[in-house]
Each structure stands twice: as C-alpha cells, then as structure tokens.
Structure 1
C-alpha cells in the first residue's frame, strides 16, 4: 500500500490466512477503506484474491460497501466456529476430555483422557488412571 501511495485510503486491514478459520474467513481481506479504482485493482492483484463480496473482476463500477452489521455478524460467526472447532491431528479431530486408547509404547492398550492439545507442536497430553 505504501509503495503505491494508498496507505491513507485504508483505515483498517485484516488478512485472514489462519487455516483454523477455513470455510469462514480464510482467503478474505477485511478492509475499512476509501475505495477507488486504483485500490480495487491493487486488491485484485493480491495472490488468491478472487473478488469482492459484491463485485465482479473487471466491473467498471466500484464494489458497494457492506454494512457494518454484516461485517460484525461475519466476524462473530468466524470466532464462534474457531472456538468450537476441534483440533485436527493427522485428520483426526480431538478435543480436551476425549477418551483415547494408546496404541504403542509402555502404556499400549491403556486408555486415557486428553488434558491438553498443542496444535503447533502436534502434541497431545493425556491422563492415565493407574490402580495399584
């Protein structure tokens, strides 16, 4: 934006690339700006941007702004989905409290409950009840 002298036209910008938000926001750019043809072209040149919510690429008219209530609703749904989404480890959805069976190592064939998930390290902590 600065290289093109467009920074004064954009008041707020959020680029969503978090895969945890997939299907709701991933690939979207949320922008509060004073849109003009040059800024519209700039956004269309960003890789993987296919369009505006209410605008076709190549349309001579500027995109219509979306209402603030629509944006708030959109962000609230994304936040709700992110908070309720179980973590996925190698294609298996897990959440704290799930009962799992250990399939290898010292505790093979024992069951335990998930107490902590670390998606960045791809680690799961479980508690195994021990009797005796």
Structure 2
C-alpha cells in the first residue's frame, strides 16, 4: 500500500497549522494508521532579518494556512483529515476529489529530500548522460550540491562552452 501514497495539501485556519499537524500525528499514532497516513509537514524557510540590534534568524511558514500530508487516499483517511479541528478541506483542482501534488511540485517545495551521491569533483572529466548533449564529455567547473547543479565546460565546434546541468545528468568519465 505504501507505493500509492501521495502528497496532498490540506487547507487550515491561519495559525492552526501546528495544531492540525500535531492532531493528525497523534491520531495516526493512536489508531495505528502509519501505513495510510505516512507523513505530515509544514514547509518552513529560515529567514535572517537585520535589525538595529543585529541579525535575527527565525523560521517562517512558506505557505501559511496549509499543511502537507503524505497519505494513501482512502475514505477513512479523507474522513480523519477532514474532521481535524482547524481543517477547512483539501486543495482540489475544481473537482470534489483532492488533487495530489506532482513529483516536480514535491521536489520544488523541498518536502522530500532526494540525496544524490556525487562521484565526481571540480576538475574531473565527466560524460553527460541525459539531455540534448548526451554522450558529450567535459570538465566540471562548478559543483553546487545544495541546488542540484553542476557546470560542465564542453568543447563544441572548437569552442569551450559552459553548460549547466543537474547532478544526475552527468557521470564520471571512464576514458
């Protein structure tokens, strides 16, 4: 059943996000529903504000009034979430059925972290494995694991051309 779990967006009263998350987590624990409702998250970002007294760092909700829930959409799961105090409903795309987030949306929101192990470093020769430059080789100029980006200099038409790619679009060259 775990394969069909998807992320859904739950709308809450503003300021009730933490209460809703805690209530859902407690309900899941007491009713042993970990296989149906797998994870609850409130997207947060760290903000540094410069004031007269110096810099102040705090966490801020990215989407106030919303909680993300990874769950298998069943009638029971829907009923449990919908009846939590502070929940006004699921986000839908015009129908009455809740709409799950796409894989791209989940990645952009940073809800699920994909760990990519990079087998190359700056200065290494790599081969491009995906995209329009597949099978081209180049030298790694910059590597930004946090942003999932790598800059590779490729020789095309006798000129050195920098190309920005995702980390998993290149691999260490074996030649």
Give the TM-score normalised by structure 1: 0.41
Task: Pick the structure with more strand per residue.
Answer: 2
Give the TM-score normalised by structure 2: 0.32
